[in-house]
Each structure stands twice: as C-alpha cells, then as structure tokens.
Amino acid sequence: MTTCTRCETALEDGDLRCAICALPVPAAARASDGKQIAQVLRCGDCGAAVAFSAAAQAPRCGFCGATMAIEQPVDPIEAAQLRLPFSVDRDTAEAALRGWLARRGWFAPRALSSEAVLESLTPLSWAAWLVNAEALVTWAADSDAGANRSAWAPHAGQVSLGFRNIVVPASRGLRAAEARLLIPYYELGHVVGVDRALGDGEVASTIESFDAQRSAARKYVQDAIEATAKVRVEPQIPGRRYRNVHVACLLERQTTDRIVLPAWVLAYRYRGNPYRAIVHGQRSEVVFGKSPIDWSKVGTLVAIALLIAALVALAIILR
C-alpha cells in the first residue's frame, strides 16, 4: 500500500492529493496498477483536433461533436468492505416502535400507539467511514486552576492521541443528526466482511452506497476527529471546571475502512400523515423520530396559561 510521504496516511487509487494533508500524489505513484493513461488530442471518430468542452467537462470534437473520456480526477465509486450484522429482528423493531409511540408524552395524541399504521419497516445498512489515526493535538482552554480575580484562567498544552474506530457518516438515507444519535451504541467488535454469507435468522438488509465523496470526506473526518479530541483532552486540562476548549490536530497515519451499520427505518402513518422513526439495529431501546402533536392539547394548555396570567394580572391591579 502506498502512503503519503508527509503524513503517512494510506493513499488509495484515484487520490490526486492526500486526504489528510493535501500533499499532491505524484503521477507515477498513482499509476501503480500499471495502467496507461491516454492523452487524447485528436478525435477518435473523425481524427480532427479537439478542444476541451467546459459544458461536457471532456474534450469534444468541434466537427462531429463526439466527447472523449479523459482521466477522471478523483472519487472512484466506494463500496463497503465491512458490515455490522443486525441483532434486532423485525418483530423486536416493530415492538420497539410501538413502545416508543406509547411513550411520546402528554402532547402526543392519546390514540397514537393504537391507531398508527406501520407502512414500511426497512432494514438499512447505512454507509460510514471507520477512521483510525494518530494525531498531535494542541489545545487551549480556560479553567478554574490558577484563577485569580476572574473565575477563569487560560491554559494551553499538547498531547499525542490515537483515534480508533471513529465513525464518520457517509449516508444519504440518514441525516447527520440521526447518524450521530445511533453511532455511540454500535458494538464495532462484531464487524464482519461485507461479503460474508448471512447466518440463520440473520436480517438481510439494503446496503447503502456511499453518497459523500471521499475527496469531500476530509472535512468530515477532520471535524469528527476534532470533536473527539475536544473530549479526549479534557483530562489534560488542570482544575475541576473548564470552558472554551479549542483543539488543533496534526493527523498522521490515517487509515479508512468503509463500513455499513444496521438500523431499522420505519415509516408509519397517523390519520393520513406520514412520519418516520429509526430503531437502532443492535440496541432496540434506542429509538427516535418524529411523531404527531395533538394541537387541541397544546391549545388547551396555552388557554390555561393565559387564564392564569390574566388572573395574576387582575390580582395585582386590584391590590
């Protein structure tokens, strides 16, 4: 495997620059598979000279209109290498949804749990990157250690940290906020190869393709690792209380695996309106989603609040 000479991150076919430090990858290193890359200057159909068409993003012959494929820059289609099997089956997922609907609180319609119609219950293996990296992390923060007249004093430091199995969503099917709610509950020790045959009773799922491009992933990965680093440097900060924690990471030796993670996506309908909920594919108690609100209850509550406010105002005026 070729690695970046600057940060030792593993380079992949199609990389023009390192995904972490942006060092351009020499052409020779990229052609490691021995493929010849053609430089097209003449139309293959009619032999005329060609010009690059900005509209077609390819050389186009001005005479016969044919376009020619040139070396595509980045982002070959990514495919999952690993998958995390479902341990929540269909019946358990449906029961988890019913239980969640029954616990939606006072503002939910009373008949929600009994009248909600389950329209679809789809096992989805959603796409994510599984990132490992080393990093030199520099930090700055305020803490109560050494505080003087103010309750806060500034501190700074640095620490080398290893980041293991950081999950970075690459999903179209799930929103980023939904993925963030699911990620902390996955047992990544149970990962298997994506091609491994399903066991008896194992849930067959739709395996999502990678929507976000790898070249765009650099920012997601950086953000995810910085968010993790902010938590990981907390023990380094002196004192008992802290605020304004800022980190800067110099990532090295990053490796990335493509993984798909299990979730049940439920679509249900209540009195004609569609709603969606997600049940974790390994922990059925992790359920979240949208549910209807009984606006008559909200109206009643607002009316009561207004009545109380009016009575208080009246009492104040009369006193």
Partner 1 sequence: MAGTSTDARARAGVTFACGHCGASLEFVGVRTETCPYCASPNFVERPPGANQPHPELVVAFTGDAQVARHQLDRWLGSRTWFADARIKRARVEDLRGVYVPAYLYSAVAHTDYTASIGEHYTETETYETTDAEGKKKTETRSVTRTEYRPLAGHHVGYVTDVIVSASAGLANAELAAIEPYDFLALRRYSPAVVTGWIAEEFSRDPDDCRRASRNEAIDEVGLWLRRFMPGDSHSDLAWRTTVQWESLDPILVPVWVLAVRYRDDRSPLRVVINGQTGAIAGKVPLAWWKVTLAIIVAALVIAAVIFAISQHGGQPG
Q: Which residues bind partner 1 (CB under 8 A)?
A: 6-7, 16-17, 20-24, 27, 30, 37, 39-41, 49-55, 57, 59, 62, 68, 70-71, 73-74, 136, 138, 140-142, 147-158, 213, 215-216, 243-246, 248-251
Pick 88 or 217: Cβ nearer partner 1: 217
Q: 181: helix, coil or strand?
A: helix
Pick 68 or 84: Cβ nearer partner 1: 68
CB 131 within 8 A of CB 224: yes
Q: What are phi and psi of 247, to 5 degrees?
A: -130, 150
In the complex, the smallest distance separating the C-beta of residue 222 from partner 1, rounded to whole angstroms, is: 9
In the complex, the smallest distance separating the C-beta of residue 1 from partner 1, rounded to whole angstroms, is: 20
Could you give the count of Cα atoms lying within 13 Å of 74 in the half-sphere of its Cβ?
A: 14
In the complex, the smallest distance separating the C-beta of residue 162 from partner 1, rounded to whole angstroms, is: 16
Pick 31 or 298: Cβ nearer partner 1: 31
What Rg value do the Cα atoms of the chain yield, rounded?
28
Alpha helices in the chain (DSSP H): 27-30, 90-102, 112-115, 176-182, 214-232, 295-318
In the complex, the smallest distance separating the C-beta of residue 130 from partner 1, rounded to whole angstroms, is: 22
In the complex, the smallest distance separating the C-beta of residue 97 from partner 1, rounded to whole angstroms, is: 39
Pick 134 or 294: Cβ nearer partner 1: 134
Pick 75 or 89: Cβ nearer partner 1: 75
Pick 183 or 245: Cβ nearer partner 1: 245
What is the C-alpha to C-alpha distance for residues 263 and 122, in angstroms, rounded to an integer?
8
In the complex, the smallest distance separating the C-beta of residue 148 from partner 1, rounded to whole angstroms, is: 6
CB 113 within 8 A of CB 227: no
CA-based nearest residue to 117, from 265, 270, 266, 264: 270
Pick 140 or 203: Cβ nearer partner 1: 140
In the complex, the smallest distance separating the C-beta of residue 311 from partner 1, rounded to whole angstroms, is: 34
Give Cα separations from 172 to 25, 93, 315 (angstroms).
Answer: 29, 22, 57
**Contacts of 45 by beta carbon, 8 Å cutoff, 6+ apart:** 61, 64, 66
CB 259 within 8 A of CB 129: yes
Pick 155 or 280: Cβ nearer partner 1: 155
Cβ burial 278-305 (10 Å sphere, 16+ → b, else e): bbbbbbbebbebebbebeeeeeeeeeee
In the complex, the smallest distance separating the C-beta of residue 105 from partner 1, rounded to whole angstroms, is: 39
